[in-house]
Copies of this chain bind each other. A is one copy, B any other.
Amino acid sequence: MVGAFGGVGTTITLGLAAMARGLADRTGLVTALPPFRDLPLPEPGDFVVGGHEIRSTTFAESAEEFRRTSGVFDPAWIAACRAELDAASARVRPGPRLGLSAVVSGLADWAEARAARTARQAVDAIATDLGAFIASESIDHLIVLNVGSTEPPFPLGDVHQHWKTLKPRLDDASQVLPSSSLYALAAIEGGHSHINFTPSLGGSMPAIHELAQATGALHAGKDGKTGETLMKTVLAPMFAHRNLKVSSWVGHNIFGNRDGLVLDDPTSKTSKVETKDRVITEILGYKPSSIVTIEYLPDMGDWKTAWDHIHFQGFLGTKMTLQFTWQGCDSLLAAPLAIDLARLTDLEKQRGGKGQMRHLACFFKSPEGVMENDFFKQFDRLIDHVAKPQRP
* Residues of A that sit less than 8 Å from B by CB: 11, 14-15, 18, 24, 26-30, 32-33, 68, 71-75, 77, 230-231, 234-235, 237-238, 240-245, 247-248, 250, 252, 254, 289, 291, 293, 295, 297-300, 305, 307, 309, 311, 313-329, 332-333, 335-336, 362, 374-376, 379
Contacts and interface: CB of A to CB of B under 8 A. Distances in A.
Given A33-B243, A238-B230, A299-B248, A328 B320 contact: yes
A336 B307 contact: no
A28 B72 contact: no
Contacts of A299: 247-248, 289, 311, 319
Contacts of A24: 315-317
Given A73-B316, A314-B329, A320-B332, 4 more contacts: A14-B316, A231-B322, A250-B295, A314-B328
Contact of A320 (B29, B252, B324, B329): B329
Nearest to A302: B318
Given A248-B299, A295-B250, A297-B250, A15 B316 contact: yes
A155 to B, nearest CB: 25
A316 B332 contact: yes
Residue of A244, A248, A319 ringed by the most chain B CB atoms within 10 A: A319
A145 to B, nearest CB: 16
Contacts of A315: 11, 15, 24, 27-29, 332-333, 335-336
Contacts of A300: 248, 311
A309 B324 CA distance: 10
A243 B26 CA distance: 8
Nearest to A254: B250
B297 A289 contact: yes
